[in-house]
Amino acid sequence: MTVDMRTKLIVFIIVAGLGIFGVFGWLGYQLFTTGFSAKTEPHALEVWAARQIRHLAIPIEMRNAQNPVPLSPGVIKESLAHFADHCAQCHANNGSGETPIGKNVNPRALDLRLPDIQSMSDGEIFWVIHNGIRFTAMPAWGEGAPAEDKDSWKLVHFIRHLSQLTPEELDQMKALNPTAKKDLEEGAAFDQFLQGDDAAAARTDSGHHH
């Protein structure tokens, strides 16, 4: 290595180090001034840094992984029900994140229809669903080893489908959301009770006490 190249390398390391120090110093200052409040909207630099960390935290073999579950109408129907029951409380049925929970966590629940999400590879989206994201409201939904988690791969297909949701599909999801589903189940149990099913009455009563 020549003296000129060595000098350029040293300068680069110093500049890069100062840049990293500046970013973390700024983030530290923001944390000091705002605390851990979830009401504070994260700065664009904080969002950018979090996304870079998320990207680097995903193993490269997963970033390049292809979805092993073939796309079909049945997969969309199954994952629609899964999304409505597990994901919509934060992300909304249409993926916008405009829910009471999604709007009041920090960082906010993402709009899954935006290019920042849709440009992620299938493997990256799967990894986030399967493992969750530490220090956020995103839980780890995957069970077992990644190769066994077909449900999360199916959800990847549904996330790709969000921008194409039909009014009929949104109506289906409303009926499958946890609160709506509980009301429907209790209504069905009450109807059975009126028809003489005493066991249904017990199910209805127990449902009202949760």
Of 201, 197, 126, 193, residue with least CA distance to 157: 126
Query: Which tens digits make up the pLDDT trace of 75-120?
Result: 999 999 999 999 999 999 999 999 999 988 877 888 999 998 999 9
Of 179, 186, 184, residue with least CA distance to 200: 186
The CA distance from 173 to 162, in Å, is 12
List Cα–Cα distances, 114 to 110, 111, 136, 169, in angstroms: 8, 6, 19, 20
The runs of H, that is alpha helices, within the chain are 3-34, 44-57, 60-63, 73-86, 88-91, 100-103, 115-118, 122-131, 150-161, 167-176, 178-194, 198-208
Q: Which amino acid is at 136?
A: T
CA max distance for the chain = 93
What is the pLDDT at residue 182? 66
Q: Is the pTM of this model over 0.75?
A: no
Of 210, 64, 50, residue with least CA distance to 138: 50
**Confidence band, pLDDT 50/70/90 cuts, at residue 126:** very high
Q: How many CA atoms lie within 13 A of 206 on its CB side?
A: 8
The correct CATH number of 36-176 out of 2.160.20.60, 1.20.1300.10, 3.40.50.720, 1.10.760.10 is 1.10.760.10
Query: Which tens digits make up the pLDDT trace of 57-72?
Result: 677 888 889 999 999 9
The encoded tokens of residue 195 equal 């028809």
